[in-house]
Amino acid sequence: MDSQRDVYGLEGRIALVTGGSRGLGREMVLGLARAGADVVIASRKADACEALADEVRGQMGRRALAVGCHVGKWEECDALVERALSEFGNVHVLINNAGMSPLYPSLEEVSEALWDKVMAVNLKGPFRLTAKLGTHMAAGEGGSIINVSSVAAVQPSPIEVPYGAAKSALQNLTLSTARAFAPKVRVNCIMPGPFMTDISKAWTPAMIEGLNRSVPLGRGGEAHEVVGAALYLASDLSSYTTGAILKIDGGAAYAAG
């Protein structure tokens, strides 16, 4: 733990992670805390956020704030920012990790409500949080914003059309806000491929076998394997990196940079 703090230099920094109570978000919260950061854990499930906050406090001795928040609603995004700043006085790292990709029977049957919900969680919320905290960071000590997209942004499948469109827009948002908030705020994006998180529990053995055949590294990712990228982009190790999109997918999206 001490060596991680020495390498990444996150001691005394505050990191806010949306979708932080499970999956990739949970592992990033734990990784940030091990590297010395205090954390704000946000998701729609306030009780799950609080359970993880207790784990961070008890096992790592870091300060942790749990906040129930639906990032698809701007008023809740604003309340999340106000709560974090009231509690800690600053936020140095924002990770826009919350996302959703509900199933639908056909494109014709995609409802307006489903479309709006996917866009709200995957794009509208990250925009609002980036606008609010990016402005705060730029006026103060600076900081790092990390968006979490998906290989669906560049290699979309026919079963995730709204999700792929939203994640593609999130990558565009990364590039534009990297310029808007420069030079004091860096904005980058992690583009994960298939990871064996909670969502994978619904995959059939045939789906997993097909995944293992199609991914050059022969498997789906484990949630902890995203942490190194998050720590790099959150820390000063990436001090000359902004507007970057880092693909972590075992080589799955071979047509993408």
Residue 28 lies in a domain: yes
| Predicted confidence (pLDDT) at residue 1 exceeds the cutoff of 50 | no
Active site residue 254: no
Residue 252 lies in a domain: no
Look up the domain containing 162 and give its range. 2-246
Which pLDDT belongs to residue 205?
Answer: 75
Which pLDDT belongs to residue 257?
Answer: 46
Residue 251 lies in a domain: no
Q: What is the pLDDT of residues 16-71, one digit of tens each?
A: 999 999 999 999 999 999 999 999 999 999 999 999 999 999 999 999 999 999 99
Residues 6+ apart with CB under 8 A from 101: 118, 152, 160, 162, 163
* Sign of the torsion formed by the C-alpha atoms of 86, 88, 91 and 96: negative
Which pLDDT belongs to residue 220?
Answer: 77
| Predicted confidence (pLDDT) at residue 100 exceeds the cutoff of 60 | yes
Which pLDDT belongs to residue 201?
Answer: 62
Closest CA to 32 of 45, 47, 18, 14: 14
| Alpha carbons 188 and 242: distance in angstroms, whole number | 5
Residue 50 lies in a domain: yes
- pLDDT top residue among 7 and 151: 151
pLDDT average, residue stretch 173-192: 98
Q: Write the DSSP string, 174-197.
A: HHHHHHHSTTTEEEEEEEE--B-S
84: domain CATH number is: 3.40.50.720
Q: Is 216 exposed, middle or buried (0-12, 13-18, 19+ CB in 10 A)?
A: exposed
Residue 133 lies in a domain: yes
Q: Give the chain's mean pLDDT.
A: 92
Residue 239 lies in a domain: yes
Q: What is the pLDDT of residues 189-248, one digit of tens each?
A: 999 988 777 665 665 677 677 777 778 888 878 989 999 999 999 999 999 999 999 999
Residue 169 lies in a domain: yes
Write down how long the chain is: 257
Domain count, the chain: 1
| Predicted confidence (pLDDT) at residue 113 exceeds the cutoff of 80 | yes
pLDDT average, residue stretch 87-113: 96
* 81 confidence band (pLDDT: 50, 70, 90): very high
Catalytic residue among 163, 232, 240, 254: 163
Closest CA to 80 of 136, 37, 32: 136
pLDDT average, residue stretch 93-103: 95
N- to C-terminal Cα distance for the chain? 33
- List the strands of the sheet with 185-192, edge to edge: 64-68, 38-43, 14-18, 93-96, 143-148, 185-192, 245-248
Residue 257 lies in a domain: no
Token match 């905290």: residue? Answer: 133
Which pLDDT belongs to residue 42?
Answer: 98
* 162 confidence band (pLDDT: 50, 70, 90): very high
Beta bridge partners of 148: 190
Which pLDDT belongs to residue 204?
Answer: 64
User: How many C-beta atoms lie closer than 10 Å to residue 114's C-beta?
Assistant: 15
